[in-house]
Structure 1
């Protein structure tokens, strides 16, 4: 009898222990679910915050800068011109040049170099320029007053201001300033040839257009009129009062620094 009671007591004890272990395992399992859920939530939040902190640098497109006319330049020019040379005369002793003869008008080619500097403000361009040309412009009066009198322009130069309006690579401009001419007045009668060099000072005005083929290479076309004043030149036994004027059309090619 004692043996049966002992066995039943052990059986009840084992059953109780088994039931307790099951409850402990169940509680541990139920306790892990909130922990796993909380861990997953925190990981998701931290991942979102990290993604928000990442800055993606998009490549910025490079926009080419617009062309600017500001800068120095030097170039070559070539063209043609025609002259209007008034040359009234008087005999010795020198007096008023009140005797008339035909003008020693002529034509020819010219070519030389030019250099200058431009400043651009908005669409407006201002600058200064100087040039020098050798020329073959030559003409005479055909012997209208018995003697054949002529005038040849040898070379001319100028120092001018420029002002214009730019539309990107196009520039339309006006120009004007001081003009210098070195020429030769002569008598061309066969057997009585006579030549005298003279310098003239005056003014010039004109207009033109330029186009920038590249940031450095510029082409141009230009017209200018120049009035070189008047000078008396003694030829043999008479004095001519020579007043040369020259119209010229030039094309040019320059390099901008």
Structure 2
């Protein structure tokens, strides 16, 4: 599913939704489990050889607190945690051997948007923090890098306590320069996360 499909999905929900107060369904504390489809592309600047791409599916967790303002506006501070990885590596005479190293993606973020009694359509703005990226093979340097990301999502209530969501968010990280076989180069990692979650409210 790409961004265009998500916007279309959101438009259909808006068209079908009967105007109603968000009430308290989307407020308060919640916790959820998700299935995250992660597409990752990591590369060393100026090299076509050292460009690793992969897709994987992992489990994630998230938690947050919903706040209603007015009749239908809801915003929700939230934290998510999932895996971020790419298999394999690359090697050439210029930059030597590189591996994709790292394991997690931590996302402190805000969801905000329009909510009815059954539906919550929102945009996402958040910081992505990770230890993942391309590094020289054998490097023990674990640099944390962060980047802002944007996304969209939709959540549907099952009952007063349970709901399900689908969302997509994209971000890019630029790591500091590293020594690849005697050459200082920056690395860049792009990720697109498609997340399907099941939420329990308290």
Aligned counterpart, 1:123: 72
Aligned to 1:181: 130
Shift of residue 218, structure 1, vs aligned partner: 1.3
- Tell me which of the two structures has the higher relative contact order, counting C-alpha pairs closer than 8 angstroms and 6 or more residues apart: 2
Q: In the alignment, is residue 108 of structure 1 matched against residue 60 of structure 2?
A: no
Mapped to 2, the partners of 1:72 and 1:109 lie a distance apart of: 27
Bigger helix share: 1
Q: Aligned pair in 2 of structure 1 residues 86, 186: CA closer, same or farther (>3 Å)?
A: closer
Structure 1's 218 and 155: CA in aligned 2 closer, same or farther, altered over 3 A? same
Contact 2:37/2:56 (<8 A) preserved: yes
Alignment match of 2:27 (pick from 70, 95, 106): 70
Q: C-alpha distance in 2, partners of 1:252/1:67?
A: 20
Q: For this pair of structures, how many residues does the alignment match?
A: 178
Using the size of structure 2 for normalisation, the TM-score is 0.76
What is the aligned partner in structure 2 of residue 209 from structure 1?
154
Name the TM-score, length of structure 1 as normaliser: 0.61
Task: Tell me how far 1:116 sits from its aligned partner.
Answer: 0.7
CA RMSD of aligned residues (A): 2.5
5+ residue gaps, structure 1: 1-64, 89-98, 188-192
| 1:52-71 paired onto structure 2 within 5 Å | 68-71=25-28
Counterpart in the other structure of 1:91 = none
Confirm or deny: 8 A CA contact 1:154 1:184 kept in the other structure.
Answer: no
**1:201 deviation in Å?**
1.2
Contact kept, 8 Å, 2:113 with 2:120, in 1: the verdict is yes
- The 5-angstrom pairing of residues 13-162 of structure 1 reads 68-88=25-45, 99-102=46-49, 103-120=51-68, 121-138=70-87, 140-141=89-90, 143=92, 147-162=96-111
- Quick one: distance in 2 between partners of 1:247 and 1:138? 16
Q: Mind listing any 5+ residue stretches in structure 2 that lack a counterpart?
A: 1-21
Q: Which has the larger radius of gyration?
A: 1
Contact 1:109–1:137, Cα closer than 8 Å, also in 2: no
Q: Distance in 1 between matches of 2:109 and 2:176?
A: 23
Higher strand proportion, which one?
2
Find the residue that maps to 1:198 and give its secondary structure.
Answer: coil
